[in-house]
């Protein structure tokens, strides 16, 4: 098979799989178990950060860092209860297969790893279209740092100017912008259009189904 000359890089949670609000509830409960009252709206805005960064973002740098590992482990255990029924967003799999068929290298760039990433890939059900995955296990710094997107481009063997990154959070848009790729936002993760635009989105769609139906006029044309 000929090497792809362009790459479509995708965030997963909230972009291809409808998991953001599951993360909100399970992080909220993990914080509650550790004695912290963190509003759900604040948790929602932090979803998309790597676990350690999310805890630091919500509890502050002056927190008791000895709790960090236990909070993250509680979230992981709570969220793991949903692994066998994570719902893909509309047309997520067909979108990836269409892009693969059009000659794009499709790469996932996600803060998920291990069993969680496996569960997400099962939900998407498009492994035949996915060229590679840049997971949290592969980089030192998560989004909004550019490393996850840069690693995805390295895996695809495609330069930033021939890549598009699709995500649902401000962290995604900032990471993609810092990596020098064109950014596409989706609203299905619950983040407002204005916030995505301010963070670097060049185009915005409702969800994967909307992007798929609009491909001809999109940055992924």
Q: Taking residues 4-14, what's their average pLDDT?
A: 95
Among 51, 81, 111, identify where a domain stops. 81
Residue from 150, 182, 184 nearest 169 by CA: 184
Q: How confident is the model at residue 2 (pLDDT cuts 50, 70, 90)?
A: low
pLDDT category at 1 given cuts 50, 70, 90 is: very low
29 & 14 share domain:
no
pTM, 2 dp: 0.95
158 and 188 co-located in one domain:
yes
Angle in degrees, CA 8, 220, 10, rounded to 5:
30
140 falls in which pLDDT band (50, 70, 90)? confident
**CATH (domain of 38):** 1.10.150
Contact 23, 45 (CB under 8 A): no
pLDDT score of 155 more than 50 = yes
Residues shown for the chain: 221
Count of alpha carbons within 13 angstroms of residue 184, beta-carbon side = 23
Please indicate, yes or no, if residue 1 is contained in any of the structural domains: no
Q: Count how many domains the chain has.
A: 2
Q: Which two tokens stand for residue 157?
A: 């063997």
Q: Which of 45, 60, 81 is the last residue of a domain?
A: 81
Residue 154: give its domain's CATH number. Answer: 3.40.50.1000
Residues contacting 174, CB < 8 A, separation 6+: 143, 144, 199, 200
Residues 79, 82: Cα–Cα separation, whole Å: 6
User: Which residue range is the domain that position 33 belongs to?
Assistant: 20-81
| Whether residue 52 is found in the same domain as residue 145 | no
Q: What does the mean pLDDT of the chain come to?
A: 96
């Amino acid at each position: 098979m000929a090497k792809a000359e362009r790459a479509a890089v995708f965030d997963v949670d909230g972009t291809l799989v409808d998991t953001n609000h599951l993360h909100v509830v399970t992080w909220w409960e993990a914080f509650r178990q550790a004695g912290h009252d963190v509003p759900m709206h604040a948790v929602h805005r932090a979803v998309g950060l790597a676990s350690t960064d999310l805890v630091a973002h919500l509890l502050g740098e002056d927190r008791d860092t000895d709790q960090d590992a236990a909070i993250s482990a509680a979230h992981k255990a709570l969220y793991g209860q949903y692994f066998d029924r994570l719902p893909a967003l509309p047309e997520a799999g067909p979108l990836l297969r269409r892009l693969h068929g059009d000659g794009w290298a499709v790469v996932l760039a996600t803060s998920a790893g291990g069993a969680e990433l496996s569960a997400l890939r099962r939900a998407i059900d498009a492994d035949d279209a996915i060229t590679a995955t840049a997971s949290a296990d592969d980089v030192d710094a998560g989004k909004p740092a550019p490393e996850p997107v840069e690693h995805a481009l390295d895996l695809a063997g495609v330069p930033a100017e021939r890549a598009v990154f699709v995500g649902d959070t401000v962290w995604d848009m900032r990471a993609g912008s810092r990596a020098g790729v064109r950014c596409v936002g989706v609203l299905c993760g619950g983040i407002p259009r204005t916030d995505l635009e301010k963070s670097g989105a060049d185009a915005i769609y409702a969800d994967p189904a909307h992007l798929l139906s609009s491909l001809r006029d999109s940055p992924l044309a």
